[in-house]
Amino acid sequence: MAHEPLTQAEVLLEGFLALDTPEGFRAELIEGEIVVTPPPDGDHEDYINLVLKQVIRRARTEMDFSGNKGLKLRSGGGCPKNHAIPDGTFAPTDLRLFRGAESWMPCEGVSMVVEVTSAKPEADREAKRRCYARGGIPLYLLIDRETSSVTLFGDPEDADYRRHCAIPFGETLSLPEPFGFDLDTADFV
pLDDT digits 0-9 by tens, 117-173: 987 899 999 999 999 999 999 999 999 999 999 999 999 998 999 999 999 999 999
Four-point Cα dihedral 33, 47, 54, 177, nearest 10: -30
Counting residues of the chain whose pLDDT is more than 90, the rounded percentage is: 72
Torsion of CA 16, 11, 159, 132, to 10 degrees: -20
Element (H, E) at 128: helix 128-134
Check residue 146 and give its pLDDT. 95
pLDDT, position 77: 65
- pLDDT tens per residue, range 2-61: 678 778 888 888 888 888 888 888 899 998 888 898 889 999 999 999 999 999 999 999
CATH number for the domain formed by residue range(s) 40-188: 3.90.1570.10
Beta strands in 12-159 (DSSP E): 26-30, 33-37, 63-66, 70-73, 82-84, 88-92, 104-106, 112-116, 139-144, 149-157
Q: Report domain extents, the chain.
A: 40-188
Task: Tell me the per-residue pLDDT of 34-45, one tens digit each, with 9 for 90 and over.
Answer: 889 888 999 999
Whole-structure pTM value: 0.91
